[in-house]
Structures are given as C-alpha cells and as structure tokens.
Amino acid sequence: MRTKVLLVLMCVAVVGMMGGAAFADEAAPVVKEEGGGAKNLVGFGLALGLAIAAFGGALGQGKAIATAVDAVARQPEAGGRIQTMMLIGVVFIETLVIYMLLICFMWGGKV
C-alpha cells in the first residue's frame, strides 16, 4: 500500500514538472546569449528525462527479474517459459530507455 502511494506521488510530481511547458508562451522571444539562455534548459531537460527513464527502467527490470526468480523457485518445471516471458518484458522495458536516449541524441544537436 505504501509503495503505491509513493508511486502515485512520484507520477504526480513528474507530471507537475512537465506541465509548465504546456502553458509556455510561444510568442516570447528566445534570449540568445553566449553559453546561456533557453538552450541550457533544453539540455537540462534532456538530461533529467534520460535520468528518469533510466531510473524507471532499472526499477522495472529489477522487479521483473525478482518476480521471475520467485516464480521459478515456486515452479522449477516452468522455468523455461517464465524465463522467455521475463526476457521479452525486459526487452520492452529497455526499449523505452533506448527511445529516450535516441531523443536525447536528436535534440542534443540543437542545444
């Protein structure tokens, strides 16, 4: 129960941090300073997004692997099927982190 509350609070915090971009004024001029301005904020946002994606991916993979090991310990004869399903799940989790890394590479050239 406590972990669910913590997870909900973390999701609300992340959504709250990203909500400011929805209300940004598009007509506002971008300050072009040497080594500063809005470009630094984009770089910081990319780094923060990648960190959150890597952290969430690591938590998800750890939970998936721990659950798979527990399931194999309870039913050793189903170990092959459990391992296959666990690997597919871990691949999907890792793919999301790799997508965020690609977004960082694509947007990183604009910083």
Residue type for position 72: V
Q: What percent of the chain has pLDDT over 70?
A: 66
If one compares 75 and 29, the residue with the highest pLDDT of the two is 75
Domains of the chain: residue spans and CATH: 37-111 (1.20.20.10)
What pLDDT, on a 0 to 100 scale, did the predictor assign at position 44?
85
Lowest mean pLDDT among 4-13, 67-76, 84-93: 4-13
Predicted structure pTM score = 0.59
Q: Check whether 24 has a pLDDT greater than 60.
A: no
pLDDT band at 43 (very low <50, low <70, confident <90, very high): confident
